[in-house]
Amino acid sequence: HFVQEFIEFQNLVEQNCFLTKKVGDYALQLGISTKKLNKIVQTAVHKPAKIFIDETLILQIKRLLINSNLSVKEIAYTSGFDEPTNFFKYFKRSTGSTPEAFRQDYV
């Protein structure tokens, strides 16, 4: 039963990770508590929901960096960051690389 709920959560995150990074927002959309959502995600992929959301967001950002001609600043805004500096810090903290360096390594 939790597998179906996890798949729904995964689909929501993939569609909306640029709009919200908050576990509570996804729990609300699914009609369950954040505690239950965390339990479902922990059971399915052995990590908290917030980590799953962040990893999905980073993956989507990496796809944009590699597959689009958008500037890093445009990608920052597209992916839901109000400030490019916050985007830069978030990406570097998550990947150990700057967005520019990541793009150069893969393009």
What gap in Å lies between CA 96 and CA 36, rounded to an integer?
A: 31
- A 10 A CB-CB count for 104 gives 11
pTM of the predicted model, to two decimals? 0.93
What is the Cα–Cα distance from 15 to 5, expressed in whole angstroms? 15
**Can you give the pLDDT at residue 2?**
86
- pLDDT beneath 70: ranges in the chain: none
Q: What is the pLDDT of residue 52?
A: 98
Residue 30 near residue 23 (C-beta atoms within 8 A):
no
Q: Which residue in 28, 55, 46 sits closest to 8, CA to CA?
A: 28
Q: Helices in the chain by DSSP H: which ranges?
A: 2-16, 23-30, 34-45, 49-67, 72-78, 84-95, 99-106
